[in-house]
Amino acid sequence: MTLGFGFDSQLTESWIRQSLDLGLVIALTFLVLLAVRDRRTLWMVRGLIVLMVAAAIGERCQLRLLSFVLDKLVVGASLAMSVVFQSEFRRFLEQLGRGNLLPSSIRSTRRVSDTADRSIDQIVDAVKELSQQRIGALMILETNEMMDERDFAVPGVKLDAKLSKELIQTIFQTTTLLHDGAVFIRGDRLIAAGVILPLSDRAASRQLGTRHRAAMGITERTNNCLCVVVSEETGSISLAEGGILDRPLTSSKLKELLETRFAPIGERESVAPSIRNLGRRFKHRAIAMFRRLLQLPENK
């Protein structure tokens, strides 16, 4: 009896320790994926995680040669990523030190103020005028957390001016020195003008103009912004998010998309009820499966 009790105690302790180890690894992985917002970096982090999982499985199954090779690959990939993505790792460590790993949408419910509504109106009115006059324009709209200006190819000229449609229209007049770059907008402030953005390398984007490729390039690089583009040749309006262009748009449609994107969390959820319903169905199915596994009676 004593031996049996000791064996059960050791087995329980081992199971708890392994469960805690796995849980901590999953939590750490989740926090890293939340902190990484650059899409290319995110893919590399996911690849590194796959290598680490494969190495752990190889060691668990006592596949010595495979485990040895994968361990070396994990070390080499970690060193390469630490060199290539120095700024991303520095940002991750800064967020870890501040305790700001969770995105703002999880930490607190973001509310749109009257100031944000006025900013959208100013932007849409300016875009409408520029489109009618066929004056090219490119605008970067910061969304959630503050953007790192190191994501820009050239930060541009600092302005930090009150946002207005007249200011936007003036900057993009072809006679001004700053018309050929993008303007960077944060809330109701126009932070900089003449910003040069990295271009998208996607094959499909090469058929588009430089402004459209720049809008796709910056939104591929970071999830913290949208880009509004006005074509100089046709006057068409486009909105870029996540490296994807939505075009052509009317000024009213642009305003609708911006209001939806900057809407309060509750309103945005009501726009897409199908996602919430899908989550509910998944929860109910998981509970039903759990009951069947434990042979529990279902509620009538």
Residue 26 domain-assigned (yes or no): yes
Residue 295 domain-assigned (yes or no): no
Residues 14 and 135 in one domain: no
Residues 259 and 147 in one domain: yes
Residues 236 and 212 in one domain: yes
* Residue pLDDT, tens place only, 93-138: 666 666 655 544 444 334 445 667 889 999 999 999 999 999 999 9
Task: Give me the number of domains the chain comprises.
Answer: 2
Residue 219 domain-assigned (yes or no): yes
Residue 275 confidence (pLDDT): 44
Nearest to 147 by CA among 83, 218, 239: 218
Residues 95 and 21 in one domain: yes
Chain mean pLDDT for the chain: 76
Residue 167 confidence (pLDDT): 95
CATH of the domain at 185: 3.40.1700.10
- Cα dihedral 44/107/121/174 (nearest 10): -30
Residue 135 domain-assigned (yes or no): yes
Q: What is the mean pLDDT of residues 154-170?
A: 93
Expressed as residue numbers, the domain containing 248 is: 114-263
* Residue 191 CB partners (closer than 8 Å, separation 6+): 158, 159, 160, 184, 185
Model-level pTM?
A: 0.56
* Residue 145 CB partners (closer than 8 Å, separation 6+): 103, 104, 224
Residue 183 confidence (pLDDT): 96
Residue 198 domain-assigned (yes or no): yes
Band of residue 18 on the pLDDT scale cut at 50, 70, 90: confident
- Helical (H) or strand (E) element with 140: strand 137-142
Q: What is the C-alpha separation between 81 and 263, in angstroms, rounded?
A: 36
**Bridge pairing between strands 225-230 and 189-195:** unpaired
Residues 254 and 126 in one domain: yes
Residues 149 and 216 in one domain: yes
* Residue pLDDT, tens place only, 33-90: 665 555 556 677 777 778 878 887 887 787 888 878 888 888 887 777 767 666 666 6
